[in-house]
Structures are given as structure tokens and as C-alpha cells.
Amino acid sequence: MQRAPRRIAVMGSGSWGTTFAKVLADADAQVQVTLWARRPAVAQEIAERHTNSAYLGELALPANIAATADPAVALTGADLVVLAVPAQSLREQLTSWGPYVPEDAVLVSLMKGLERGTDLRMTEVVAQVLGTPQERLAVVSGPNLAKEIARQEPTASVVACSDEGTAEWIARAATPGYFRPYTNTDLVGVEIGGIVKNVIALAVGICDGMGMGDNTKATIITRGLAETTRLALAIGGNADTMAGLAGLGDLVATCSSPLSRNRTAGRLIGEGLSLDEVAAKMNQVAEGIKSASAVLDLAHHHGVDMPITQAVVAVIDGRVSVKDMARLLLERELKSEEIK
């Protein structure tokens, strides 16, 4: 893959999909980036005004970004396809788009969720539906709050693929002056880090909504990293990945920033709002709410203890009140801090 991509399709026009399209367009003024939007009105705004006001306000998008509501138009001729739709809709979307995805395209997932019912990571869903080989499947993950990147604030990320050459090819295509992608061949670890941090951010947000202080939140973040690492190691990930941008870096950003959807959703839950009320207040999906039960299922399948995830799932399911969540965690059996 010596030649840089000439045509890129970004499937999904939410804040992160639109922002990553901007990253790709800013990295190479000659590349044509086409955003697919589910809603025709959004595609029209991007195409005509070069803004996506619902997610990024009046921030101007590069001239080499086009937009369409027709997936066939977006995907035709694309050598790089970026997937940025809600995790739980991916299988349905891929089934619909399948005939238009070029056979030799590289597919990149920006999604951070597990599919409910199958407990599959997003790259596993892509491989199952489209038959894409591992050397053409990649993930971009890290401490990547979309609005900060859209404002061109300096940010680092990770491009992970089992094939190092493919990861490097994607990284070269996504390197404007403000975005620095590192590469990693630990696809499993990078993907798990991005998935579980959303659940931990929900827990931190719940504590925040209940008025708890920094000691409590630091405890949740630290022990959350420990249980994320246990799960990653159990399914073939590397411990070093969890100490890097896609592990600790992403966890800290998501748990700390008011821009984080999952932390915000957790805060609203901690303040006493129902899940329906939370959804009504937010214009984007908090993937942690959707994926938490699948994360816990995967942990049980591999015999991994994930008490914070278990407590979050119990709150989401309505089996435990937010006031009882701390008690669930503190009453556990005493044990060593070491990861085993």
C-alpha cells in the first residue's frame, strides 16, 4: 500500500465521524473525502455550507469534503472506508451497504462498542458480515474528544491493525499538523480499551452526579483500568496497550472531560434521571449504556471479574439504585491490588 488513498468514504456524520473526515481532508488537500449522512438534510448542509451545525456548530469543514445520503455514492471507488455509526446499528448497516463496499478497500472502525447478543467487537462484526480479511481491518482509538480535535487542538491517537503496513498506511493518511497517530498491531487490546472505558466513564459520571469527590472518581478510574486490562489479557490483548493512549489515555479523557458523552450520561443518571430522560437530553448515543451488558457477558464467558462494570449494569437494568452502587463495590472481599 504505497499509494496514498485517493477516495475515502466516512460512513456516519456524527461528531466523531465528521471530525475524522476533517482530519483526513486536512492531512491531504488532494484526497476526496465523502461523508455519508443518514439524514438528507445533514448531507445537504455539509455539501452546501460545509458545516455540520448539529454536532460541530459553525466550524468550517474543508472544501475537499463532500456529503451524500446515498451509501452507494459514498462507497463507490473508495480505497479507505471509515465506519462511524452507532455500534448496535453496524450489522444492519453493513448488510445494507455490503454490495457497494469495494472488495479491496481497507475498513477502519471508529466505533467503541460491543454488539449486544453476540458480544462481538466491531471489527469482528465487519469480518463476519463482509468477510474482510484481518490485514484490511483496523481501528482508530485513543483520547479523542471530537470537538477538541475539530478545533485543531493537538491530539495523539492509535491506529491498530494486525498488519503493521496497513496501520502505517492509514496513519500516513491521517496526519495533519494537529493529529498524531501512533501504530499498534494489538487490535484486540486497542478495541477493548475503547469499549470498556465507556462503561467506566458511566460509573465516574454517576459518582459525579451524586456529588462525590475526586478520591472516589480516581478510585473508579484506577480500578476501572485494572478490570479493563484483565479482560483485554483474557482475550489476547497486550498489557502494554492498556498503559498507552488507547488504554489509560482514552480512559482519563473520557472519565474527566465534560465533553464526554458517557461521563455526561452517567452524571445525569447520578442526578436521578431515568434512561429515557437521559436519552432525551443528549443528541448522541452514549455507547457505554448500550454495550455495558455485552461487556459483562464477555467477561463472564472468560471468567474475568469486573465489579465496576457489574455495578453499572445493575444500575442501568434498574436492579440497584445509584445510592447502592458504592455499597456494592465497597463490600467486596478484600484482595491484592496486583493484576493477576
- Over residues 58-113, the pLDDT tens digits come to 999 999 999 999 999 999 999 999 999 999 999 999 999 999 999 999 999 999 99
The SS3 call for residue 36 is strand
Q: Are 186 and 250 in contact (CB under 8 A)?
A: no
Give residues with Cβ within 8 angstroms of 49, minimum separation 6: none
Other CB atoms within a 10 A radius of the CB of residue 258 amount to: 10
Radius of gyration, alpha carbons of the chain: 19
pLDDT at 126 over 70: yes
CA separation (Å) from 202 to 88, 198, 272, 296, 321? 18, 6, 14, 14, 14
pLDDT at 330 over 90: no
**Each residue's pLDDT tens digit, 207-217:** 999 999 999 89
Instruction: Domains for the chain: give ranges and CATH numbers.
Output: 7-185 (3.40.50.720), 188-330 (1.10.1040.10)
457477558: which residue's cell? Answer: 297
Cα 150 to Cα 46: distance, rounded to the nearest angstrom: 15
Confidence label for 284 from pLDDT (cuts 50, 70 and 90)? confident
Active site annotation includes 22 = no
pTM of this prediction? 0.92
Sign of CA dihedral 290, 17, 49, 66: negative
- Of 31, 35, 65, 61, give the one whose Cα is nearest residue 169: 31
Looking at residue 96, its pLDDT comes to 96
List 197, 217, 281, 335, catalytic entry: 197
